[in-house]
Amino acid sequence: MRFMMMVIPEGYGSAAPDAAPSAEAVARMMQFNKSLQKAGVLLALDGLFPPSTGARISYRDGKPTVTDGPFAETKEVIGGYWIIQVRSREEAIEWAKRAPMSNTEVIEVRQIHEMSDFPEDVQKAAEGFEHLNR
Amino acid sequence: MRMSDVHKTIDAVWKIESTRLIAAIARVTHDIGIAEELAQDALVTALDVWPEAGIPDNPGAWLMTAAKRRAIDSLRRGRMLLRKHEEVARELEWQQQRLGDALERALDEVIDDDVLRLIFTACHPVLAVEGRIALTLRLIGGLTTSEIARAFLVPEKTLGQRIARAKKTLSEAHVPFETPSGEELRFRVESVLMVVYLIFNEGYTATSGDEWMRAGLSEEALRLGRMLGQLLPGESEAHALVALMELQASRNAARRGKSGEAVLLPDQDRSLWDHAQIQRGMTALERAQGLGGGAKPYALQAAIAACHMRARTAEETDWDRVVVLYGALLQVNPSPIVALNRAVAVGMVQGPAAGLDALDAATTLAGDSALAGYHLFPSVRGDLLMKLGRLSEAREEIQRAIAMTKNLREQELLANRLKQLEKAAAG
């Protein structure tokens, strides 16, 4: 089963567009990444630019409205993520516990839906998905 | 019985920490059986203490300390722990001190090499293949005996004996706890990769039993493969095996129809393939090829799988390339099964008559080995004959194939084909 571990850093919602982690923080993180890789559980990982460089698109009756970041009203935003393949929810939590996080960071662990988890009609509706993925 | 949450957490900690723990202890004891016993003792202590005291901040170090205490205890009680340690001193005190220090050091140092030694030892050719598989899942997978037994559909007692026998064999054969080198390395890597691929296939071809557990075997094999890719980064076939497994597993969702029947590659709904997984497989294959290993067996098999995965429809498959790749695979692995697969591809490229010629060659290669009774030989022959319009011969071959397989799902597929044939003959 696959899980996404999302990093939610406090204050990242209002961080400057060029905000970057310190070299020490990155070095610690690389060590953790390496341990995931050596255990054979790491499938993917990425870090995200702060929301101040992003945009939010909201929808009212199907009509999209674009708001540029930062988003003052939003408390929790994602700073980056890992996708890991593990054998249980507990194992995903154990890995998250080993991440080198500071007092102001939170990791949220969520299981990734596999296609086979969906009911048949949903699977049917997802036909042709391959073309989106290419 | 439902495991309590804390037990589930301890199980997760064990699955993460046990391999490095056992590997570190084995460096000192030189015996993976003893190392595993000590690690298990530590786990038992944890199961006793953690539900009350809570999970420690560094559970790996906690387990190592517990294992160290057990080691010193059993030494004190006279259990001959360092059976194989050449430098064992006579005085007990000194031994205890030395053992404690050595275990301490083992934990502190980088121990990737220890993990690698553990894998090579668990997959040692002195062991029966089933022993290698069980030991690998137990020591490197962190699976319990009961989990492995369920996955392999054998009684727990049988599996326990299998593991005990394997440990005894290693101990009696004085298999050193080391990474092989030179020519020996190549041969030993082959054994490790074979064990991982067998575990994968055990899960991949699951048609009965505890399906979830068996599917879990494929995921575990993939994890082991990725581990090997990290531990042996220059070994192209380790990456190629990961590629092959990723590409095969990416088709999982499409391999079963609504009522659980097998769906063969040409008939699969390709939108159900896992494209992120295909991408990972392609990346691993490129890595293997980049290391110059493109012509080795796993790389060729992965390249063949890649040809199928790249095609949007079965018709779009680059069959020319598939024929070339099977030809190359036949060079390094002259097996009747490879020749059979090549014949199918030849039939697609050069027509059914050429396919039949290639199939004759495959049949000759099979000779009167056990493979001569493999149902896919008459089944493929029946298909080719059908395409040539030789319907009554085709029917005979499909009937032969049905008689040769015991697998109910295969029989169903073949019976359907027979029906089609009869329809064609009537029309």
pLDDT digits (tens, 9 = 90+) for B148-175: 998 888 899 999 999 999 999 999 999 9
Task: Give which of A94, A123, A129, A131 to mutate to test B binding, by max B Cβ within 10 Å.
Answer: A94
Q: Element (H or E) spanning A67, and its range?
A: strand A63-68
Is the pLDDT score of A32 beyond 90?
A: yes
Residue B2: the pLDDT is 47
Interchain proximity B13–A127, CB inside 8 Å? no
Exposure letters B161-170 (e unless 16+ CB within 10 A, then b): ebbebbbebb
For A40, the closest of B112, B223, B253 (CB atoms) is: B223
Sorted by where each starts, the structural domains of chain A and their CATH numbers stand as 2-133 (3.30.70.1060)
Beta bridge partners of B154: none
Number of inter-chain CB pairs under 8 A, A vs B: 73
- Report the predicted TM-score, pTM, of the whole model to 2 decimal places: 0.87
Q: Are A8 and A76 in contact (CB under 8 A)?
A: yes
- Name residues 261-280 of chain B within 8 A of A (Cβ): 269-276, 280
User: B3 by DSSP, 3-state: which?
Assistant: coil
Tell me, what DSSP letter sits at residue B314? G
Chosen for mutation from A130, A131, A132 (greatest number of chain B CBs closer than 10 Å) is: A130
Asked if A30 contacts A82 with a C-beta cutoff of 8 angstroms, the reply is no
User: pLDDT band at A117, cuts 50/70/90?
Assistant: low
Please, what is the average pLDDT of chain A?
Answer: 88
What are the tens digits of pLDDT across the range B37-88?
999 999 999 999 999 898 898 898 899 889 888 888 877 765 544 544 444 4
Task: Write out the DSSP string of A89-126.
Answer: HHHHHHHHHTS---TTEEEEEEEPPPGGGS-HHHHHHT
Contact (Cβ atoms closer than 8 angstroms) between residue B295 and residue B332: yes
Q: Which among A37, A88, A127 has the least Cβ separation from residue B12?
A: A88
Interface of B with A in 189-218 (CB under 8 A): 216
Which among A69, A58, A81 has a CA at the least distance from the CA of A14? A69
Contacts of B115 in chain A (CB under 8 A): 38
- For residue B230, give the chain A residue with the closest CA: A38
Residue A83: how many CB atoms within 10 A of its CB?
Answer: 16
User: In this structure, what token pair is assigned to residue B421?
Assistant: 């044939």
Rounded CA-CA distance B285/B225 in Å is: 13
Percent of chain A scored above 90 by pLDDT? 64
Instruction: Give the Cα-Cα-Cα angle B247, B276, B223 (nearest 5 degrees).
Output: 60
A40, A90, A130: residue with CB nearest B275: A130
pLDDT for residue B224: 97
**Are A82 and A29 contacting, i.e. CB atoms less than 8 angstroms apart?**
no
Distance from CA of B105 to the nearest CA of A (A): 19
- What tokens appear for B102 in the block? 């050595």
Q: What integer is the mean pLDDT of A81-90?
A: 95
Q: Which residues contact A62 (CB under 8 A, 6 or more apart)?
A: none
DSSP letter for each residue of B84-134 = T-TT--S-HHHHHHHHHHHHHHHHHS--HHHHHHHHHHHT-TTS-HHHHHH
Residue of B4, B226, B280 for testing the chain A interface, max A β-carbons within 10 Å: B226
Residue A8: strand, helix, or coil: strand
Residues 6+ apart with CB under 8 A from B337: B371, B374
pLDDT band at residue B263, thresholds of 50, 70 and 90?
Answer: confident
* B253 with A115: Cβ contact below 8 A: yes
Query: In this model, does residue A119 exceed pLDDT 80?
Result: no
- C-alpha closest to that of B21 among B102, B85, B111, B95: B111
Closest chain B residue by Cα to residue A125: B271
Residue B47: count other Cβ atoms within 10 Å of its Cβ: 14
